[in-house]
Amino acid sequence: MLGLMQDQPLLISSLIEFAERHNGDGEIVSRRVEGDIHRSDWRTIASRARQVANALDNEQLLFSDRIATLAWNGYRHLELYYGVSGSGRVLHTINPRLHPDQIAWIANHAEDQILCFDLSFLPLVQAVHAKCPTVRKWIALCDADKLPADSGIPNLVSYETWMGKLSDRYDWPRFDENSASSMCYTSGTTGNPKAALYSHRSTLLHAYAAALPDVMDLSARDSVLPVVPMFHVNAWGIPYSAALTGCKLVFPGPALDGKSVYDLIESEHVTFAAGVPTVWQMLLGHMQSQDLKFSTLNRTVIGGSACPPAMIDAFQQKYKVDVLHAWGMTEMSPLGTLCTLKNKHLALPPAQQTALRLKQGRAIFGVDMKIVDGDGHELPWNGQASGDLLVKGPWVVAEYFKGEGGDPLVPDAQGRGWFPTGDVATIDADGFLQITDRSKDVIKSGGEWISSIDIENIAVAHPAVAMAACIGVAHPKWDERPIVIVVKKPGAEVTRDELLAFYGNKTVAKWQVPDDVVFVEAIPLGATGKILKTRLREQLRDYKLPEC
């Protein structure tokens, strides 16, 4: 017997309809590429998203055709989020930090029909447009009078000319909720990038989940600053959860330096912000140097790579901002776990609470996870056993776009497919996940695993260290030994021996202390702000351990 409830597909258009009807005057504030502050609201975004849908219909596009963006976080990007997906096309957000050849490869692979870009990416578009034969129109996200003359880009039009005069009447089509809505390529540090193809259903379920109290706890009382980019994994789903809750949205545009982000947080009374550790490092650096405090910010979600304990302490103790450490992946839309304490943890002393907050947290309902040994046997949740992390759930990929890389899933005894994350983790009895490494970065010394994240976290806790990366180096007796590569803070001093002695005071076994410290000017970062260990290993190809 089937239930007798209404059959209403979960579509992205329903989010913007809801936001317009129930929170129409909810503010959308954007710092533009031009540097000024632009003010809009959910009602206007909804109306302009319908104009975008009409403009797309005029282009004779087919259902599921891909429309690409190369854009910062801003109101026009938000209008495209809803206009493109709502009208049945697929929004393909491209990471502008990728190499131009990779961008051209991705645009060709996705067969993008239209590409919309912020003017700061004009040189990039000039470099790649001739290599993107499927793109028939290039749209600059600007007013008509800002459109550059003689750009050399054929079929270039300004966004406002393209959609600004069209009707804002549009009936959002109804279709299967499993239809594709948006896509994002992984950064492809090994091999060609692969695309996660999200659906309307997966996006809506993720949007509900992300807003939950033990996740981002979003509400119509919040002013939300996604510093995480809309060009990578949909800014962790915030543009959708924001419409669902009716919160105010504050977009930083291209200005991600500490001062600009701080000023926006204060002037727009931001209560919740989301970012990766490298961006928060700049914010905290600015605040420390100017002796500033937050007046409204009360919580922040930090993820994308491990959040160092020194950062958690600074936010929690000094600035009274709750840190929600999160873990996820492009293949998971991206949220998997989030670290919020349980009732029984509230009475714990601060040091123990910090130790818990350092973990990546508990699975969000919808995501099932397990850790397995090398033979695929499930390992216990005791906080000690560490193994390969697998996940499944309705917002986890089943396969990549165009079947790239074959079937990625690993079946269990019941035949259910689990996605191997490539991360190595422990899970404790309370269900708190802790990522110890990427499987390809694990350091194996004398048959024992050393967590490179642990080694890095200790180094960055030293006051003179700005950034640290730990890699394994071949050793004749132990197979591999860890070394730590360090960038010093400007003007700060620390020697190799001082830093190694610093490890002696920390909770790390003697054999886990790195064998050497290598000081460098900069550590290579990938397009999503993560340390590129492959590149680092190449750079240190000729490096020899001191005692070998």
- Binding site residues, ligand ADP, CB under 6 A: 186-187, 303-306, 325-330, 334, 360, 421-423, 435, 438, 528, 530
**Residue 284 CB, nearest approach to ligand ADP (Å):** 17
Examine the residue annotation and report whether 236 is marked as an active-site residue of this protein.
no
**Residue 454 CB, nearest approach to ligand ADP (Å):** 12
Q: How far apart are the first and last CA of the chain?
A: 72
Contact between residue 297 and residue 261 where contact means Cβ atoms under 8 Å apart: no
Beta-bridge mates of residue 163: none
Kindly name the residue from 444, 448, 495, 511 that is annotated as catalytic.
444
Kindly name the residue from 137, 449, 489, 506 that is annotated as catalytic.
449
Examine the residue annotation and report whether 449 is marked as an active-site residue of this protein.
yes
**Residue 420 CB, nearest approach to ligand ADP (Å):** 10
Distance CA 245, CA 240 (A): 9
Distance CA 318, CA 321 (A): 8
Which amino acid is present at 403? G
Task: Provide the CA 504 distance to its chain's centre, in angstroms.
Answer: 34
Q: Which of 274, 276, 251 is nearest to 264 (CA)?
A: 251
Q: Which of 301, 341, 293 is nearest to 317 (CA)?
A: 293
Complex with ligand ADP: residue 222 or 423, whichever CB lies closer? 423
Phi and psi angles of residue 315, each rounded to the nearest 5 degrees, phi first: -65, -50
Examine the residue annotation and report whether 444 is marked as an active-site residue of this protein.
yes
What kind and span of H or E run contains 245?
Answer: helix 238-245
**Residue 72 CB, nearest approach to ligand ADP (Å):** 17
Contact between residue 436 and residue 454 where contact means Cβ atoms under 8 Å apart: yes
Distance CA 107, CA 129 (A): 10
Complex with ligand ADP: residue 324 or 494, whichever CB lies closer? 324
For 299, counting Cβ atoms within 10 Å of its Cβ (0-12 exposed, 13-18 middle, 19+ buried), the class is middle
Complex with ligand ADP: residue 182 or 360, whichever CB lies closer? 360
Q: Over 425-439, what HEC string results?
A: EEECCCCCEEEEEEH
Kindly name the residue from 160, 177, 331, 456 that is annotated as catalytic.
331
Complex with ligand ADP: residue 114 or 396, whichever CB lies closer? 396
Examine the residue annotation and report whether 528 is marked as an active-site residue of this protein.
no
Mapped onto helix, strand or coil, the DSSP state of residue 194 is coil
Contact between residue 300 and residue 273 where contact means Cβ atoms under 8 Å apart: yes
Mapped onto helix, strand or coil, the DSSP state of residue 131 is helix
By annotation, the residues acting in catalysis are 186, 331, 444, 449
